[in-house]
Chains A and B, each alone.
Chain A
Amino acid sequence: MGIDFGTYRRPSRVFVLITTVSYLAGYVLLRYSGLFSLPPENIFRALHAWPALLGAGMLVLVGAAGLAALRSRAGEDPIRLSGNLAAGAGWLGLLLIGAGIVTSSFTRFEGSVTLHESQEAALAATVYDAGTLYRRRFSREPNGGILMEAVAPFPQAGGPVVRGFSAEARLRKDPASPPRALKIGSLFPAMADGFLFRIAEAGYSPHLFLFDLSGNSLLDIYAIMRLYPPGAEDSFRFDKIIPHTFYLRYYPDVSLLSSATGTVGIRSGPAYEVRIVRNLDLLADRYAAPDELIRFDSLFLSVGDSRRWVRITIVRDPGMVLLLAGLVLTILRAISLGIRRTETIRY
């Protein structure tokens, strides 16, 4: 009676490895499924949670144990050297993946800054968009300032429809150092000083004016709004000044508004769709040409030209380097195993 410890077999490294990998993958997939929590913003947020870190730590241990076992077997059979090297690359890959996740959880920095053309901002904690700043215990933050010189749509299709954006910016580490030019594309991020700059979003920033009945200008601002693609709606408020909400849609060319062209009275060029609401009272819902005055209550709103804006995500994550190197090694090992298996069956 009782447990016979003599028959107990320690689980093999491969057993532990498969358990760890499926645990890690299962946990990340369950996070994305939304069954047990809101889906994470990106995969790193899921990997930095303690359950994933537990799995990452286990990967480090399994990888290290695999390497140690190979080392103890080294010299036993020189013919198997190439096989050992390949296996070593696989174990090292797993170790690096685990180490990469753990390193990332301590060092990742992530934040998004929204800038319109010709806008400059100092890269301080207050400049990042609300809810986008993500710092870990040993994160290094960018310093200095960024000047958004130009935001250009691409490809130049000749039509009003834009397929993507590229941004030209100048990055200055400190006031004394020369600025560094950055060209960031929708598809290709730029790298500077260990930080990755990527365009996360782009849009139009309309020039808004508020006048009183005597024509005095009360406000004159470029509002950053999510008005891309054409027809997308966003709203803005002059908080603390008036209680109104202004909803806007922007069409870079009135031809994009085929069904309503007749009612707009605008033959060519850009057009805005404007809706003005004061709490639960709908005051205006109409199309307007740039610089047209729209009266509501005892004020006038006018929407002028529009600039472009981009939301740039800045990331620094030393763990990513380890993670990528580990992934490459693991994939190579998987390929070598696949080739070996095919050769065995062919034989």
Chain B
Amino acid sequence: MEDQERTAGIHGDERAGAQAVLPAVLGLLLALIVSFGAHGGYEHFRFYAHGYLRQQETANVEATIKLFSSSVAGFYATGYTVGLKQFPADNMVKRRIFQDIRNWEESGKFFVMDRDRIAVRNVEFLAPDMAVALVDETWFSVFQNRSTRRPISEKQANILTVRYYLKKKWGRWIIFEYEVFPQGKPLPPVPVDMVLKWE
């Protein structure tokens, strides 16, 4: 008798457990559907689920970085702002570059930067519209006399690793920050929490 009651109790528990599975699965399914639909969930999921979308954006990021560095070299070499509209950089980045160019201009010099090599090592997407790219770059720089364009300093090599932070705005990638390290130096981790708050 005792055994029978105990068995009945255990079977009752099993039945209750089985009955709890259905609503639990239903709840999870609802959560999945809602997450898919809310806060651009579908777009977010699609970006990470489809490798070809990321590859496409990686190529766009690489092209942006190449355009950025060739534009920087052009601005420094000529002192002109031709191509500024296409220059894929945030206003603060632009300001720093042109402030530097103007400073050299005032002292009667050109600071000419020649990009020798650029190799994109890695592109990581913190969000579908936010990327961090690690790029090895070699630059040669020389000061020139502003009126004669004759070199007035030794040519200097800068072998760098640059970490670019890019954001997609109005359908195009722009560089809104970058960090410069000497090549071979261990890099600090990406401050993801801060980067995601950058406007």
Q: Which residues from chain B sit less than 8 Å from chain A, CB to CB?
A: 5-6, 9-10, 13, 19-20, 22-28, 30-32, 34-36, 38-42, 44-45, 48, 69, 72, 92, 95-97, 99-100, 103, 111, 113, 126-127, 137, 139, 141, 158, 160, 162, 179-182, 185, 188, 191, 196-197, 199
Main secondary structure, interface of A, reads mixed
What is the total of A-B residue contacts with beta carbons within 8 Å?
138
Contacts A18-B24, A22-B23; A279 near B13 (Cβ below 8 A): no
B32 → A minimal CB distance (Å): 7
Determine if A22 and B35 form an interchain contact, defined as CB atoms under 8 angstroms apart. no
Chain A contacts of B23 at CB under 8 A? 11, 14-19, 22
For the complex, what is the distance from the CA of A278 to the CA of B181, rounded to whole Å? 12
Chain B contacts of A131 at CB under 8 A? 197, 199
Within residues 129 to 145 of chain A, which ones have a CB less than 8 A from any CB in chain B? 130-132
Q: Binary interface profile of A, 1-40, with partner B (CB < 8 Å = 1, else 0)?
A: 0000000000100111111111111110111000111100
Determine if A30 and B160 form an interchain contact, defined as CB atoms under 8 angstroms apart. no
For the complex, what is the distance from the CA of A59 to the CA of B191, rounded to whole Å? 38
For the complex, what is the distance from the CA of A29 to the CA of B72, rounded to whole Å? 44
Minimal Cβ-Cβ distance residue in B for A21: B27
Question: Nearest 5 A-B pairs (CB), nearest first?
Answer: A22-B27, A26-B31, A131-B197, A36-B41, A23-B27
Determine if A280 and B137 form an interchain contact, defined as CB atoms under 8 angstroms apart. yes
Determine if B99 and A243 form an interchain contact, defined as CB atoms under 8 angstroms apart. yes
Chain A contacts of B44 at CB under 8 A? 35-38
Chain A contacts of B137 at CB under 8 A? 280
Within residues 216 to 238 of chain A, which ones have a CB less than 8 A from any CB in chain B? 226, 232-233, 235, 237
Determine if B30 and A282 form an interchain contact, defined as CB atoms under 8 angstroms apart. no
Minimal Cβ-Cβ distance residue in A for B36: A36
Determine if A22 and B31 form an interchain contact, defined as CB atoms under 8 angstroms apart. yes
For the complex, what is the distance from the CA of A30 to the CA of B99, rounded to whole Å? 46
Interface size in chain A (residues, C-beta < 8 A)? 52
Chain A contacts of B5 at CB under 8 A? 347
Residue in contact with A278 in the complex, picked from B95, B100, B160, CB distance below 8 Å: B100
Minimal Cβ-Cβ distance residue in A for B179: A235
Determine if A38 and B196 form an interchain contact, defined as CB atoms under 8 angstroms apart. yes
Determine if B31 and A38 form an interchain contact, defined as CB atoms under 8 angstroms apart. no
- Can you list 23 A-B contacts with CB-CB less than 8 angstroms, sorted by A residue number? A15-B22, A18-B27, A22-B24, A22-B25, A23-B30, A26-B28, A26-B32, A27-B31, A30-B31, A30-B35, A35-B48, A36-B39, A37-B35, A37-B40, A37-B41, A38-B126, A38-B196, A50-B38, A131-B199, A232-B188, A281-B158, A345-B10, A345-B13
B43 → A minimal CB distance (Å): 9
For the complex, what is the distance from the CA of A50 to the CA of B111, rounded to whole Å? 55
Q: Which residues from chain A sit less than 8 Å from chain B, CB to CB?
A: 11, 14-27, 29-31, 35-38, 49-51, 54, 130-132, 226, 232-233, 235, 237, 239-240, 242-243, 245, 247, 275, 277-282, 285, 341, 344-345, 347
Determine if A282 and B27 form an interchain contact, defined as CB atoms under 8 angstroms apart. no
Determine if A19 and B24 form an interchain contact, defined as CB atoms under 8 angstroms apart. yes
Determine if A37 and B180 form an interchain contact, defined as CB atoms under 8 angstroms apart. no
